[in-house]
Structure 1
């Protein structure tokens, strides 16, 4: 048995989206009116036909990934996943023909497979093991060889294309992806998770496990209460808001696009709430870095399709990059955003405007992030979202948080904590054994001392009686 998946940027590390059924907003990509993938086995080769929707104009911009029996095809903003009944054989793979038919609007490719059917019915996805085979492919459009064009959309609602109009050196200072147009959204996710795995420091996590590493002069971020009633805008904030209202072009947004934007908004708000707790609501020169690094949306131009994976990415990053790294603190930040969304527009607008200012005044200018995300999110919160939308997003985020566990983070922090507790227990047992040994030695010493005194006293009596 095989499974076919079709969605707009489905998260890679889990094909099972059962948790989505609990969410109040249901974005059912699987019921879209799109023909399913068709596959045919010809001896030890598998011919795969991949349909795409007519809304895709940049069909020459695609990316292909293979992991065991899983085939992932990215075309522009659409992602198709196919779990093959056999594992693919990538040995000496080269010059794979990817044929596009402009009449049927579908791709066809043939890949070598192992002869035997795989065991089981589901592939466990590990993004770090994905094999990108795009560079080994040759594109044929209606039989004519064409060049593969890496021109993927990015930014707010995947609105932007082409190389960012900012210096590459400046971009490298503020985010990990300097030219998102060259990378599909799937490749950005893979790069992020690989970077996080390399950057994670178990020793630093251990330092914060029992006692949070709080800099001198800072309050405990876990005890800080966010003032949601602080909604008054400064004159500068009002000017920026009026400028955005006057200059921003209205977008016509579909439901799936709005869900993408909701995920972007939550990703940004999570970084904001962490910074508010860490700085006690008084932004510092480091705030722009904190708010960027904790958001995968800002750091990697990543696009999410599920709030669960937004929460996962934030908690992972909050346990890797900032000074204070504690799982419970990260979850508190998610709860902060849940409350903030319940409060509605005024507080959210103020915090986004503060972030806009932080990015303008930062040591490494982050105006690129204002251009591609923040100003659009300000417009979105101000003009598109209503009270019902805020409430629904808050409830969905709350449910998503309950679905995220330490195991979901794939950092083995449960194992680290277990080892740390075992070390602690061993130290306590060693201390207890040492104390008992010392007490035993002291008692033995006292006993020997008393016995010696007793013998000495007996000797004196003996001598006295002899002298008598």
Structure 2
């Protein structure tokens, strides 16, 4: 809380208290007085006095408030008429609380504590004793060193003591000590730090909500169409104010404003016009994104997007205004899309073309938004109220020229200095790469079933070939049945890899280990022992192998068998096959087994050749 500047005076019947509360929200204030106590509150000011005499509330009290000077005056009757109050100029003593509180003693008597009055207990629960510091007037020489701001740079020293209370209204700290160039430098640095590329790209690619709000048509669109249609029919400039209708509430607010005259030099008027564009741009954005409905964020949107209101900026050109507004739209609000910037510019041009009636209506709506929001009401005192009064006295031709200048001005993404085009190009490249990878994954998934089917077909053909081979083998075994109709089945297990000698393609023996084949029938077992393989037998085996391969190709229709055998013949030197033979029944048969592709060949031979 801020202790305001105050002074007291008296006459025989009344005590007069004058309180200076500039830029306070005077529509909401509280006054309490009884006996020697006086309390006053008007945000952000609080004053509590302990008077040297008693006052009373009997209906004769009076109060008034001067909005221009920010002075609150109250006259309170004395309880005893004619009594003289001493020490009214001792302001520090008047601010002191009535009862100084001290720490409770460490040792307390029970009897004494039991005698506490109810009044003291109530004071313990509700404490009004807020620490206050007397206000000190600032010297005129110090005021001249402060920097100005507000409408026409007519204000200064406002935030010197209100900075803590109004820190949410403006972003710049201690504006009374910061020159215009320094404000701009700090603003640009804050915007660069606030800019979020992810948020911008999200709104750039997923803009359904933004496209929806862009379809909203505010009231000035229809008013402008009516104006243009009437102008084409009459071939003359119609009265612009006839297309704007003020509500009763707006008319009442206009009656409350006090008439003022503003003596502005040429440079200051230039700043005022540019700041007006900046404020209208922020207002048009707010109306567009909320589709004409106001909410709790409306005040934040308007003041945050306007560097005039948020940073107390003073612009020198229309281009600077557009760049500032574009940067802030892309850094702060919920929807950060460049199309919203261009839409707000077009709406502002339309409002200015409609004339000062349309501009005044928009300013009255802004005034209402700030009036209903704490602590944004301070911006009405600094800017909006003066704009509402000033705009009624300017010529419409001035606004028409301003609208034409704004219409000719251009703003591109590169002007914002946020590298928007580079971000968009990089994001598009990333999106294209993701699309390609996604398409490649889809194609591979589509090809996967066909390859699986081919694999299954191959497996089926292999199984068919295997079954046919087994069938062929069984048929040949049945044909080898003895004359008396008895079959000689194999009883033992072939031990090829452990006992069979390895023979290369040239018929040379690579191992001399003994091979044992155990063959049994129902009556006897025949045991054959071989330590060598004659060359003649190898030649016959080679002929039989080629014959069996040709038969297998014709019977099964498999081309793979030939390739496998050819490969085995080419690599026989490095990985020779293992052969084993066995005698079954009365006829002599030879069984050849390959390590890679086992093939069974049944060859009939003579007993003398064995």
Query: Which TM class, normalised by the smaller chain length?
Result: 0.5 to 0.7
C-alpha distance in structure 1 between counterparts of 2:182 and 2:166, whole Å: 18
Long gaps (5+) in structure 1: 1-145
Shift of 1:180: 2.4
C-alpha distance in structure 2 between counterparts of 1:305 and 1:425, whole Å: 43
- Structure index of larger Rg: 2
The higher-RCO structure (CA 8 Å, 6+ apart) is: 1
The 5 A counterparts of 1:256-335 are 256-335=267-346
Question: Structure 1 residues 316, 330: closer, same or farther in 2, change over 3 A?
Answer: same
Shift of 1:274: 0.6
Give the aligned partner of residue 226 of structure 1: 218
Which of 416, 423, 428 is residue 430 of structure 2 equivalent to? 423
Shift of 1:450: 2.5
Assess if the C-alpha contact under 8 Å between 2:274 and 2:318 holds in 1: yes
Whether 2:238 is the aligned partner of 1:238: answer no
Encode CA deviations 1:330-366: one digit per residue, 9 max, x unaligned: 111111111221122233222211110110111x321
| SS of residue in 2 equivalent to 1:196 | helix
| SS of residue in 2 equivalent to 1:220 | helix
Shift of 1:154: 1.0
Assess if the C-alpha contact under 8 Å between 2:280 and 2:348 holds in 1: yes
Long gaps (5+) in structure 2: 1-140, 224-243, 476-610
Give the aligned partner of residue 35 of structure 1: none
| SS of residue in 2 equivalent to 1:177 | coil
Query: TM-score, with normalisation over the residues of structure 1?
Result: 0.62
Aligned residue pair count: 314
Encode CA deviations 1:178-224: one digit per residue, 9 max, x unaligned: 5422111111111111111111111111221111384xxx9822222
| SS of residue in 2 equivalent to 1:172 | coil
C-alpha distance in structure 1 between counterparts of 2:249 and 2:419, whole Å: 45
* CA RMSD across the alignment: 2.5
The 5 A counterparts of 1:370-389 are 370-386=380-396, 388-389=397-398
Assess if the C-alpha contact under 8 Å between 1:163 and 1:180 holds in 2: no
Assess if the C-alpha contact under 8 Å between 2:157 and 2:176 holds in 1: yes
Give the aligned partner of residue 185 of structure 1: 180
Query: TM-score, with normalisation over the residues of structure 2?
Result: 0.48
Question: Structure 1 residues 433, 251: closer, same or farther in 2, change over 3 A?
Answer: same
Give the aligned partner of residue 164 of structure 2: 169
| SS of residue in 1 equivalent to 2:438 | helix
Question: Structure 1 residues 210, 148: closer, same or farther in 2, change over 3 A?
Answer: same
More divergent stretch after superposition (311-320 vs 336-345): 336-345
| SS of residue in 2 equivalent to 1:169 | coil
Shift of 1:440: 3.2
C-alpha distance in structure 2 between counterparts of 1:421 and 1:213, whole Å: 18
